[in-house]
Amino acid sequence: MRTWAVLGSGSSGNSYLFSDGSSAILIDQGYSVASLKRRLAHFSTTVEAVEAVFVTHLHPDHVRGVGTLARMHHVPVWMHTKAVEAQRQVVSNLNIPAGLLHTVDPFEVIEVGPFSVFCFETSHDSAGSVGWVVAHEGRQYMVLTDAGVTDEVQKSLAREAEVLFLEANYDREMLKNGPYPPPLKARIASKGGHLSNDEALTFLAESGFSGSHVYFIHISDTNNSVPLLEAAARISSPVPFTVCAKGACYGVVGS
């Protein structure tokens, strides 16, 4: 893999890039095409190189831009079958041209260029939510975001991964004492919500992840703090890590 990147993550938009230098794929596309182009340019990649988008779930911060990308650049979109069947109106509103929308079941492997891609189920309040694994030249890159709880399947996938993109959405105390109304606090902390810093770090330890790098993603700017998460991860992360502040781009451009 020449490049892997967090083009941006958080409630205002999410997208992840994987590229071998000529072929590129995205996980999620929560940005306008103009914003996506600017973000890709950080990693010397053009929108023309993007050969497919794989969707984690149908919340707007993850899919806002998939329809325009598909219509303007004829990029095929892959979604979990269950998401399409359970949320037909939401999918229809994305206005993805017929023929560019494809469905896939968990662990069904899709080959795009040099990449083999499959999804696994996640616990979130959008039917058919999944995470994705991108395999390239024997290495696996795993995106696990928007998950209220984790499971053993995800831990075993993380154990096999070289690079992990892992949600750390909120600090438990900041959420509890923060400004959100009680029902929203309860939703975020629920099984259908998001992973806390504690939960992310526990997942990391319990999975036995021994790859080269972990990116902490989907950080709340209301209920979390980058320095706080960095301090906690310095103590307990077994591998080098990056805390991805909301909206900003992080990643690696290989040679």
* Residue 30 to residues 15, 34, 54, 219, Cα–Cα distance (Å): 6, 12, 12, 15
Q: Using the 8-state DSSP alphabet, how is residue 221 labeled?
A: S
Decide whether 146 or 171 has the Cβ nearer to Zn ion.
Answer: 146
Site for Zn ion in 232-251 (CB under 5 A): none
Structure tokens at 232: 């906690």
Return d(Cα 27, Cα 76) in angstroms, integer: 12
Residue 162 touching Zn ion (CB under 5 A) = no
Q: Does 194 bind Zn ion (CB under 5 A)?
A: no
For the bound state, the minimum distance from the C-beta of residue 80 to Zn ion, rounded and expressed in Å, comes to 14
| Residue 59 interacting with Zn ion (CB under 5 A) | yes
Using CB under 5 A, which of the segments 37-45, 55-63, 66-74, 231-239 binds Zn ion? 55-63
Q: In terms of CB distance, is 61 or 199 closer to Zn ion?
A: 61
- Name 178's Cβ contacts closer than 8 Å, sequence gap at least 6: 185, 222, 223
Residue among 121, 146, 162, 171 that touches Zn ion (CB under 5 A):
146
CB nearer Zn ion, residue 59 or residue 185: 59
Size of the site for Zn ion (CB under 5 A): 3
| Residue 46 CB burial class (10 angstroms; 0-12, 13-18, ≥19) | exposed
Q: Which residues bind Zn ion (CB under 5 A)?
A: 59, 61, 146
